């Protein structure tokens, strides 16, 4: 059988393309211990991880999977209280990166999310998942 060089080249490029695309699609694995440091420097000023302890922001105990605006005793903005958001890891990542975009009219004053790396965010989310 005879394969022409252009076809061979196309096949090689295709294999290369698949090989390169795979790692880019894979999610960054989060490390909860490193996430604890991210939390301490970025979030702890305004958020406690103890259930029932609200600071400038509401407690983030067991935040992963819960409906937004539902911590008892915390006075939320109307925007967040009525957002209907459920805090999946994806929603949390989007909110941390741009709180005012995800909840226009919300009152979380946090603008540093853009400085966090994908690894920082994955670590933070892994840490929050374990925070009950």
Nearer to ligand HEC, 16 or 45 (CB): 45
Residue pointed to by tokens 């196309």: 10
35 is a site residue for ligand HEC (CB under 6 A): no
Nearer to ligand HEC, 108 or 126 (CB): 108
Task: Look up residue 60 and give its two tokens.
Answer: 């983030």
102 is a site residue for ligand HEC (CB under 6 A): no
What is the helix (H) or strand (E) element at residue 38, kind and residue range?
helix 32-42
43 is a site residue for ligand HEC (CB under 6 A): yes
What is the spatial distance between Cα 83 and Cα 69, in angstroms, rounded to a whole number?
A: 8
Q: Minimum CB separation from ligand HEC for residue 10, in Å?
A: 46
Which stretch in 9-17, 20-28, 29-37, 102-110 sits in contact with ligand HEC by CB under 6 A? Answer: 102-110
**Contact call for residues 88 and 113 (beta carbons, < 8 A):** no
Compute the 3-state secondary structure of the chain and give helix, strand, coil in percent, each to the nearest 5. 50, 0, 50
- Classified as helix, coil or strand, 10 is helix
Q: Applying CB under 6 A, which residues contact ligand HEC?
A: 42-43, 45-47, 56-58, 60, 63, 68-69, 71, 76-77, 79-80, 87, 92, 95-96, 103, 106-110
């Amino acid at each position: 059988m005879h394969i022409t060089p252009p076809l061979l080249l196309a096949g090689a490029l295709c294999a290369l393309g698949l090989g390169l695309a795979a790692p880019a699609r894979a999610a960054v694995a989060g490390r909860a211990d490193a996430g604890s440091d991210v939390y301490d420097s970025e979030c702890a000023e305004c958020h406690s991880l103890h259930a029932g302890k609200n600071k400038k922001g509401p407690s983030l105990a067991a935040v992963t999977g819960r409906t937004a605006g539902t911590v008892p005793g915390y006075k939320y903005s109307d925007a967040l209280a009525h957002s209907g958001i459920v805090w999946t890891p994806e929603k949390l990542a989007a909110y941390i990166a741009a709180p005012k975009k995800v909840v226009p009219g919300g009152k979380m004053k946090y603008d540093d999310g853009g400085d966090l790396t994908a690894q920082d965010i994955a670590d933070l989310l892994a840490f929050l998942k374990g925070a009950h």
